Structure 1
Amino acid sequence: MNIGEIARRAGVSRSTVSYALSGKRSISPETRARIQAVIDELDYQPSATARALSSGHTHTLGLVFPPASSHYTDMQLDFIGSLVEAAAGFGYDVLMAASIGDGDKGLRRLVAERRVDGAVLMEIRLDDARVDYLSEAGFPFVTIGRTGRPEHTRWVDMDYTALVGSCVRHLAHLGHRRIAFVNRSERLFRAGYESAHRSLTGFENACEQQGVVGAAYLCGDDAASGEDAIGRILAADPATTALVTVNEAALGGLYRGLAAHGREVPLDFSVTGIALSRWATAVTPQLTAADVSAAEMGRAAVELLLELLATPDAPPRHVLLAPPVSLRASTGPAPESGN
């Protein structure tokens, strides 16, 4: 079914049907109603390409989210799903552009071909070439996470520095004096992933303020790496009685590693960190954690981008989330042997 057939059945010209669909020119209410009746009868859906050509808008947002490794982790998929759901609530589709082994060609295609109205960038680095490129191109975008120069962009982020600090203070108040920090992988840390660096800053600052001994460890984003990290922690300092982590993908391995070394959570060893709430409650015992809300972050990112599309000259707006630490069963008083 096409515009010509709708025009024939409605007894109007093709251009009149086009104006009724695009809204570029006013037509009489009677003519519009006659055209709409034919459209309803035929269940006509104009193509996305045609709508974009006539209106200048694709009603599609780009999601630029290179995976941390050769695949997406379950946690990354949670974020992707939350953003797609939020966009759908505003009548937008989402087109993913993953830069896997091809630099930023996927991103550059989005801009050059104008396949999307704007973009959301995830997995942000402190020095992120994607942000620089889109800024220079004048292409609308927001980020989930923020660079080392965040004041001139729109972003939503977790306050990793403050949240990791809250976790350390919680453990220190329970009497723990030797605390480990399990970060993201060495590759991501060297690449400048902002969450890894800001988390480490929060850990080091809080350990100094609380007068506790802290040691930081890099850890791959998988369970096996979590088990290995526990081995390294206890080999380096057997008196360690607690850890803070921002590595959700390694969480199950951390628990298994502690059990393999005869540490019972929380009687012998306390675990806390930053995690999506559904992952914090999926382990046993449930994780005391600052709960990340993928749905809230996805919704905030979409709203910021749509605000930018509607008012391009408005000053940049930021959303920094700092949820409280939810006390669950994975933390307890430091064992006497750890004091």
Structure 2
Amino acid sequence: MNIGEIAKRAGVSRSTVSYALSGKRSVSDETRQKIQRVIDELGYRPNASARALANGRTSTIGLVFPPAGNHYTGMQLDFIGSVVEAAAAYDYDVLLSPSGVDSDRSFQRLLAERRVDGVILMEIRLRDDRIDHLAAEDFPAICIGRTAHPDGHWWVGLDHTALAAACVRHLADLGHRRIALVNRPEHLLRAGYESAHRGLDGFTQAAAERGLGVRTYCCGDDAPSGQACLERILRDDPATTALVTLNEAALGGLYRGLAVAGRHVPRDFSVTGVVASRWAETMTPQLTAADVPAERMGRLAVELLVERFGRPGAAPRHHLLAPPVSLRASTGPARHETSRDA
């Protein structure tokens, strides 16, 4: 069913039906009601392309996310789900578009063909060409994270610097003196992923303030990589008594590696990090962590984007979140055994 058939049955022109649907020009109440009766009888719903041509809006938000590789982390899935749910509350659909080294053509098509009214960008890099391109196109966008120079952008971010530092201070207060950092994969650090770099900065700064002995490691986003990383940590420095992780996908492997090494958590070894609460609470023992509010971040991102739609030219706004460390069962006082300090 199309506009031409509606016009024929209502006894009006195609343009009159178009005006009645889009509201671009006034149509008499009598004519509008006649058109609406036909629409109701036929069960007509204009397709997305027709709506976009009629009113310049697609009623769709683009969510630009990193290519999955083998899987997405629980944190990423929570965020994606929250964006979809929040968008639905504003009567927006969500179009997912991968963007990475090998898939930026999808991102370019999203903009060139104006398939969406605006975009939310995940996994921001400290220097991110996508944001510069969006700004040049004057295309509404919200970043999840901050570039090295965030002024002038709309964004929702997690203060990874402060959160990693808070984890280090918590361990130091428990008497731990030799601590490791388990970061995201090396290729993400090389690509300039904001969360990996800011978390590393917070970790090293807090460790220096407390005079701690530390080592930092990159780790793949999976359990086997986590176990291999833990084995390397203990091989490099058997006296290590705690770690901070920015890599929730590796957590299961880190715990498994400790069990294989005979290190009881938290009696012999403490584990903490920046992790989504739902994931932290599934660990045994439950993980002491700076809980990532992924669902809240998704909701705030959608709210900011809808605000941009309604206030063109408004000054950029942002939200920087820094949740406290939730104390659970994976951290405890340090035990400095002579055999491990030797």
- Structure 1 residue 24: Cα displacement: 0.8
- Structure 1 residue 41: Cα displacement: 2.7
- Structure 1 residue 68: Cα displacement: 5.8
Length-normalised TM-score, structure 2: 0.94
In structure 1, what is the equivalent of residue 206 of structure 2? 206
Structure 1, residues 154-206: CA drift from partner, whole Å, max 9, x if none?
11110000001111111111111111111011111111111011001100111
In structure 2, what is the equivalent of residue 164 of structure 1? 164
Q: Which runs of 4+ in 1 moved over 4 A?
A: none
- Structure 1 residue 103: Cα displacement: 5.1
Residues 227 and 257 in structure 1, CA contact (< 8 A), matched pair in contact too: yes
Task: State the one-letter code of the partner of 2:185.
Answer: S
In structure 2, what is the equivalent of residue 241 of structure 1? 241
In structure 1, what is the equivalent of residue 36 of structure 2? 36
Residues 125 and 194 in structure 2, CA contact (< 8 A), matched pair in contact too: yes
Partner of 1:86, secondary structure, is helix
Map 1:220-239 → 2, pairs under 5 A: 220-239=220-239
- Structure 1 residue 3: Cα displacement: 2.0
Structure 1, residues 195-224: CA drift from partner, whole Å, max 9, x if none?
011001100111112222221111111101
1-structure distance, mates of 2:246, 2:82: 20
1-structure distance, mates of 2:27, 2:234: 76
Task: State the one-letter code of the partner of 1:102.
Answer: D
Task: State the one-letter code of the partner of 2:114.
Answer: R
2-structure distance, mates of 1:42, 1:293: 45
Structure 1, residues 283-333: CA drift from partner, whole Å, max 9, x if none?
111111111122111111111122222222111111101111111111111
Residues 220 and 250 in structure 1, CA contact (< 8 A), matched pair in contact too: yes
Length-normalised TM-score, structure 1: 0.95
RMSD after superposition? 1.7
Q: Percent identity?
A: 67
In structure 1, what is the equivalent of residue 9 of structure 2? 9
Task: State the one-letter code of the partner of 1:261.
Answer: A
Map 1:78-117 → 2, pairs under 5 A: 78-99=78-99, 102=102, 104-117=104-117
User: Could you list the runs of 5+ residues in structure 2 that have no partner in the other structure?
Assistant: none
In structure 2, what is the equivalent of residue 75 of structure 1? 75
Stretch of structure 1 that moved more, 205-214 or 228-237? 205-214
User: Could you list the runs of 5+ residues in structure 1 that have no partner in the other structure?
Assistant: none
1-structure distance, mates of 2:71, 2:133: 25
In structure 1, what is the equivalent of residue 147 of structure 2? 147
- Structure 1 residue 101: Cα displacement: 5.2
Structure 1, residues 197-255: CA drift from partner, whole Å, max 9, x if none?
10011001111122222211111111011001111111111111111101011010000
With over 3 angstroms needed to count, the CA separation of the structure-2 counterparts of 1:183 and 1:57, relative to structure 1, is same
**Is 1:275 matched up with 2:301?**
no
Residues 75 and 275 in structure 2, CA contact (< 8 A), matched pair in contact too: no
Stretch of structure 1 that moved more, 204-213 or 284-293? 204-213
With over 3 angstroms needed to count, the CA separation of the structure-2 counterparts of 1:137 and 1:171, relative to structure 1, is same
- Structure 1 residue 74: Cα displacement: 4.0
Task: State the one-letter code of the partner of 2:25.
Answer: R
- Structure 1 residue 279: Cα displacement: 0.7
- Structure 1 residue 71: Cα displacement: 4.5
Task: State the one-letter code of the partner of 2:129.
Answer: A
Residues 68 and 188 in structure 1, CA contact (< 8 A), matched pair in contact too: no
